[in-house]
Copies of this chain bind each other. A is one copy, B any other.
Amino acid sequence: MATKSEICEPGTENSMVKTLEWTDEGVRFIDQRKLPTEETYVTCTTYEEVADAIRTMVVRGAPAIGVAAAMGIALGARNADAGHVSELRRAFDQICEAMGETRPTAVNLFWAIRRMQQKFEACSELPVDQIRQALITEAQRMYVEDIAANEAMGRHGATLMPASGGVLTHCNAGALATCGYGTALGVIRAAVEAGKKIQVYADETRPFLQGSRLTAWELMKDGIPTTVISDNMAGAMMKQGKIGAVVVGADRIAANGDVANKIGTYTVAVLAKEHGIPFYVAAPFSTVDLETPDGSKIPIEQRSTREVTHIAGKAIAPEGVKVENPAFDVTPAKYVGAIITERGVARAPYEQSLRRLAETVAAAD
């Protein structure tokens, strides 16, 4: 990526992580591939660089991907060589298409693209420069709304957390997966702020290690007690009575409540059911895809086998071995105790409760 990058001193006090940010130069990201050992920031100055940052997981997490795409579109429109609206529209359509091809599962990406398209349509009568500015403003508004949604999710979800004890989370659904505060980790943060004595168990989350690299890193910055475990230890921890609740994020929630989320989420949900532990999903309402009837219709991204066969550039499997690497799995609604959104908490039957929330004006709005 032809990006400007800066390295911060590790250990710098900065409890508010800036996952992504609109700047005059372009879109600035913390490079999540390098955490926790390096706190590096990259600034993407073209929309192609933003698309690359999404594809290569410089930025990841469904809500963050959505806002990153919106900012990438605004950036592309700002940079486009267009004197007339028709020229800008041609460039804009191409930018939106490129952005839509980065990652297939997180529906927030498509939601963000659609919202930018609606904004374009709404102001297509204005002069070109005002359209460009309106798109930038819209992306910035989505950024602010995302944080507000997470805080609202926190308020709704905190009451579901146990007063004390272990809460398991998988992958990273934190500040680093959003514009700030986090979805699942936002619920945990809000519970801690409300005085609950929570000890987080963070699944390391192979193959990309978002749990050990990202969740542990951001929770430690906040002083929330965190224990990293290998994914395969979750069952043993539950059996030992160390886990009182599970809370995870989501990449897409179907109309019936089936939840696509990071690979391994389904395994955790089955374990939670077996141990009678409540399993919660926290996600902004933009993650709910009412046009997808159930989980079987959610496209699941397959990523490079190298993520499984190599760690830190070193081979950990024999050369040429066959590998599966689905980035996500689908947890059927029957395992989901509640879906926590900024509009309120949905419970089964989700077909009804999600539609009801769809008609609600968000409490956070």
Which residues does A use to contact B, with CB under 8 Å?
Answer: 36-37, 170, 203-207, 209, 212-213, 216-217, 220, 225-237, 239, 263-264, 266-268, 270-271, 273-274, 308-309, 311-326, 329-330
Q: How far is the CB of A81 from chain B (nearest CB, A)?
A: 44
Q: How far is the CB of A17 from chain B (nearest CB, A)?
A: 13
Q: How far is the CB of A216 from chain B (nearest CB, A)?
A: 5
Contacts of A326 in B (CB 8 A): 233, 236
Contacts of A235 in B (CB 8 A): 264, 266-267, 270, 329
Q: Are A206 and B232 neighbours in the complex by a CB distance under 8 Å?
A: yes
| A307 nearest CB neighbor, chain B only | B230
Q: How far is the CB of A211 from chain B (nearest CB, A)?
A: 9
A323 to B268, CA, bound (A): 18
Give the contacting residue for A317; candidates B36, B170, B323; CB below 8 A.
B36
Instruction: Indicate whether A311 sits within 8 Å of B308 (C-beta atoms), given known contacts A36-B317, A324-B233.
Output: no
| A319 nearest CB neighbor, chain B only | B36
A233 to B170, CA, bound (A): 13
Contacts of A324 in B (CB 8 A): 227-229, 233, 237
The winner among A209, A229, A232, A329 for most chain B CB atoms within 10 A is A232
With A204-B317, A212-B321, A227-B323 given, name 17 new contacts (CB 8 A).
Answer: A203-B232, A204-B308, A206-B206, A217-B318, A220-B320, A225-B322, A231-B231, A231-B232, A232-B232, A233-B267, A233-B326, A234-B267, A235-B270, A236-B267, A236-B329, A236-B330, A312-B314
| A300 nearest CB neighbor, chain B only | B236
Q: Are A315 and B37 neighbours in the complex by a CB distance under 8 Å?
A: yes
A308 to B231, CA, bound (A): 11
Instruction: Indicate whether A322 sits within 8 Å of B226 (C-beta atoms), given known contacts A204-B316, A308-B204, A314-B311.
Output: yes
Those 3 A-B pairs whose CB atoms lie nearest each other, nearest first? A232-B264, A235-B267, A206-B230
Give the contacting residue for A204; candidates B206, B220, B270, B271; CB below 8 A.
B206
Instruction: Indicate whether A312 sits within 8 Å of B311 (C-beta atoms), given known contacts A235-B266, A318-B220.
Output: yes
Instruction: Indicate whether A207 sits within 8 Å of B230 (C-beta atoms), given known contacts A213-B317, A270-B271, A318-B220.
Output: yes
Contacts of A320 in B (CB 8 A): 220
Q: How far is the CB of A27 from chain B (nearest CB, A)?
A: 26
Instruction: Pick 7 A–B contacts, CB within 8 A, sort by A.
Output: A36-B317, A206-B206, A212-B321, A216-B321, A228-B309, A233-B329, A236-B329
A314 to B38, CA, bound (A): 12
Instruction: Indicate whether A323 sits within 8 Å of B228 (C-beta atoms), given known contacts A204-B308, A311-B311, A312-B311.
Output: yes
A299 to B262, CA, bound (A): 33
